[in-house]
Amino acid sequence: MKTLELKFRNQQNRIVTLTLDDPIEPINEQAIRAAMDQIIAIRAFSTAGDSLVEKASARVIERQIEEIEL
């Protein structure tokens, strides 16, 4: 399973993470930057009354899950 983490800074300089499951592949870095800019511009999310003000980072995380039969 893959997830895409978008990390932003809010007005209090705290990191806020949005996590999206199963990102579209191949990963398009320009589209991610544009989406993050749009999220900031339209103030799509806020945290404890603070708006997101800048991009901090983005990353794809891949997890492998192996079920253990009991």
pLDDT tens for each residue of 9-23: 999 999 999 999 999
> What letter represents residue 18's amino acid?
L
The verdict on residue 56 lying in a domain is: yes
Distance in angstroms (rounded) separating the CA atoms of residues 63 and 70: 22
Q: How many structural domains comprise the chain? A: 1
Q: Is 23 part of a structural domain of the chain?
A: yes
| Residue-wise pLDDT tens digits, 26-53 | 999 999 999 999 999 999 988 887 899 9
| Preceding peptide of 23 cis, ω within 30° | no
Residue 40, domain extent: 2-62
d(CA 38, CA 59): 18
Q: Report d(CA 23, CA 21) in Å as an integer.
A: 6
**How far is residue 70 CA from its own chain's centroid?**
35
pTM: 0.86
In a domain, 34, yes or no: yes
